[in-house]
């Protein structure tokens, strides 16, 4: 059986509670992982990998090596955190000179690049076959009256979010899945600092597409998307010139509600700007 450890150091400037609070409870209920990596390191954004890949990889190599030494798989709550760990590991393993440099960096800590941990986004665990079977046996709150869309974003990895597994999850909780054309479009977050109007319109068009396709809510997998589509909703609506009556949820929140959890603090609903109304 795999051992897991949590990397929960998401960007502190963004809203993390809808991911972290619900995710912690879900993993604890499954006896998967109840302790996090002890580090001052925070997710610096997977998009920054391209600026200096070697420095980026060095930022994450120690926690990858420590978890690997312990035989642990790292679970992240945020897709950016997952991609950061994935990019760092792949860059090290694919470049012999970088691997040697990282080996020298790790030697004083009695760690090695020979055992770098795998990373797993929590969504991949939630929709995994055994987790879905467990959910089916313990379903308390079917979503029969709701339709939802799932936003992958531009950084989707097909091995992490199989459509078949995701559809099985939706079917298990009796939630109708709505497909929409902008499921894989960039959210606009990377442009927010440089071209805010364009970024806000990109996010607004995704929300409008999901809503006009019939979704009651949109499920997202990272804090950056949540920030754009929930925290900055008023600005997004002004950018597209239209109100968008759809709220944002995370997959851990949906999974917990399916198990019958109604405590809004545990679910992290108090951190939402656009308050969910399905409870």
Domains and CATH numbers, the chain: 3-123 (1.20.1050.140), 140-271 (3.40.50.11810)
Reply yes or no on whether the pLDDT at 216 is more than 90: yes
How would you class 47 by CB atoms within 10 Å of its CB: exposed for 0-12, middle for 13-18, buried for 19 or more?
middle
**pLDDT score recorded for residue 158:** 46
Q: Which residue has the higher pLDDT, 2 or 197?
A: 197
Angle at Cα 232 formed by Cα 227 and Cα 237, nearest 5°?
130
Kindly state the percentage of the chain with pLDDT values over 90. 75
Reply yes or no on whether the pLDDT at 173 is more than 90: yes
**pLDDT score recorded for residue 1:** 47
How would you class 240 by CB atoms within 10 Å of its CB: exposed for 0-12, middle for 13-18, buried for 19 or more?
middle
Least confident of 84-98, 126-140, 200-214: 126-140
Query: What's the pTM?
Result: 0.92
Nearest to 62, CA basis, from 117, 3, 120: 117
| Contact by Cβ (8 Å): 150, 210 | no
pLDDT in tens, 174-193: 999 999 999 999 999 989 99
């Amino acid at each position: 059986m795999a051992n897991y450890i949590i990397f929960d150091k998401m960007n502190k400037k963004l809203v993390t509670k809808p991911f972290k609070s619900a995710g912690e409870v879900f993993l604890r209920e499954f006896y998967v992982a109840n302790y996090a990596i002890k580090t001052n390191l925070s997710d610096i954004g997977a998009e920054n990998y391209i600026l200096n890949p070697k420095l980026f990889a060095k930022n994450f190599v120690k926690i990858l090596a420590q978890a690997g030494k312990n035989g642990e798989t790292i679970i992240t709550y945020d897709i950016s955190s997952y991609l950061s760990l994935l990019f760092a590991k792949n860059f090290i393993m694919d470049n012999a000179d970088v691997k040697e440099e990282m080996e020298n960096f790790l030697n004083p800590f009695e760690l090695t690049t020979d055992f770098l941990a795998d990373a797993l986004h929590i969504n991949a665990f939630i929709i995994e076959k055994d987790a879905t079977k467990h959910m089916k046996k313990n379903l308390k709150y079917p979503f029969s009256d709701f339709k939802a869309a799932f936003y992958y974003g531009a950084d989707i990895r097909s091995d992490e979010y199989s459509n078949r597994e995701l559809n099985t999850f939706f079917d298990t909780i009796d939630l109708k899945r709505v497909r929409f054309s902008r499921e894989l479009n960039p959210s606009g977050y990377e442009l927010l600092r440089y071209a805010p109007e364009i970024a806000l319109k990109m996010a607004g068009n995704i929300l409008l597409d999901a809503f006009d396709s019939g979704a009651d809510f949109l499920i997202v997998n990272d804090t950056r998307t949540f920030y754009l589509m929930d925290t900055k909703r008023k600005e997004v609506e002004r950018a597209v010139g239209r109100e968008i009556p759809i709220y944002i949820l995370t997959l851990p929140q949906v999974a917990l509600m399916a198990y019958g959890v109604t405590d809004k603090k545990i679910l992290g609903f108090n951190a939402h700007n656009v308050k969910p109304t399905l409870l």
